[in-house]
Amino acid sequence: MRKILKKTSKISWLMLLLQLCLSFSLLAKQAFDFSFEKGHAGWVGDFADYDVGQEAFFELGWGWTSLPTQLDLNGTPLQKGMLLTGNNHSDDLFMFLKHRVEGLKPNTYYHLIFRVVIENNVSPDQFGVGGSPGESVFFKVGASRREPKKVAEGSIYRLNVDKGNQSQSGKYAIVVGDLANPLVDPLDPTYQPKQFVNEIPLKVRTDHRGRLWLFVGTDSGFEALTTYYVAHISVVADSKH
């Protein structure tokens, strides 16, 4: 009887150890997946690099709405998304969505891989004011332990975390492409999907509660109206590096 109890005790400890290892493994690598079929999924739009009080002049807008074209993502139909639009009078407009995620290990560096699917109607090799509406509008993905938001610096709103400038990446954001979409026919510019994935992981540290702010958006050198829709966002966070 004692031997059986000892064996049972050892098995219980092994099971507990396996459960703890599994828990730590789940914390080490987590996936966050966002579609917008039922709402904005906690994502909020904002803008930076424009003149204070000039929201109407810059024609800034964001919101949850229907996608221009229904998409199929791995067998799942996508009909709703997040709209971002603005007229880049400053030659430097940053339009972005942001969302806070939780459940990661506190004060830990994670390597993030983003996958973002958008819809736009800009074909490659177009000319425009200040630059191309495609190749001069750079898409960025970013993350920080601090909430990314605009702050007034004199008469201009700037982002409070380093995202870089236009084609340049920053400490908390990296360029993953631009809005030139090879699927768009220049003679019939209907909205088509485009996917962005960062080949090099973005390294960022969580806060003391295991939280991060994610953000995605465009840094523009095209001095006119840009409009696009974000259809899907997924992020894999891995601390095993």
Sign of the C-alpha dihedral computed for residues 33, 196, 215 and 206 taken in this order: positive
Q: Is the pLDDT of residue 80 over 60?
A: yes
Q: Is the pLDDT of residue 135 over 60?
A: yes
**The domain defined by 30-238 carries CATH number 3.10.350.10:** no
AA letter at 35 = S
Residue 4 CB neighbours (<10 A)? 8
Give the pLDDT confidence of 187-200 residue by residue, as tens digits. Answer: 999 999 999 999 99
What residues does each domain of the chain span?
30-238
pLDDT (0 to 100) of residue 90: 84
Q: Is the pLDDT of residue 241 over 90?
A: no
CB neighbour list of residue 28: distance below 8 Å, 6 or more residues apart: 105, 238, 239, 240
Give the pLDDT confidence of 203-219 residue by residue, as tens digits. Answer: 999 999 999 999 999 99
Residue 131 confidence class, pLDDT cut points 50, 70, 90: confident
Question: Which letter does DSSP use for residue 123 in this model?
Answer: -
pLDDT (0 to 100) of residue 73: 87
Cα→Cα distances 23→29, 84, 107, 136, 165, Å = 10, 38, 17, 44, 39
Token look-up 């290990």 returns 105
Token look-up 């909020």 returns 44
pLDDT (0 to 100) of residue 21: 47
CA distance 115 to 149: 22
Burial class of residue 169 (count of CB atoms within 10 Å of its CB; 0-12, 13-18, 19+)? buried
Residue 19 confidence class, pLDDT cut points 50, 70, 90: low
pLDDT (0 to 100) of residue 5: 38
AA letter at 210 = G
pLDDT-wise least confident of 15-19, 64-68, 106-110, 149-153: 15-19
CA distance 201 to 9: 43
Give the pLDDT confidence of 60-73 residue by residue, as tens digits. Answer: 999 999 999 999 98
Is pTM beyond 0.75 here?
Answer: yes
Give the pLDDT confidence of 154-179 residue by residue, as tens digits. Answer: 999 999 999 999 999 999 999 999 99
Question: Which letter does DSSP use for residue 60 in this model?
Answer: -
What SS3 class is residue 2? Answer: helix
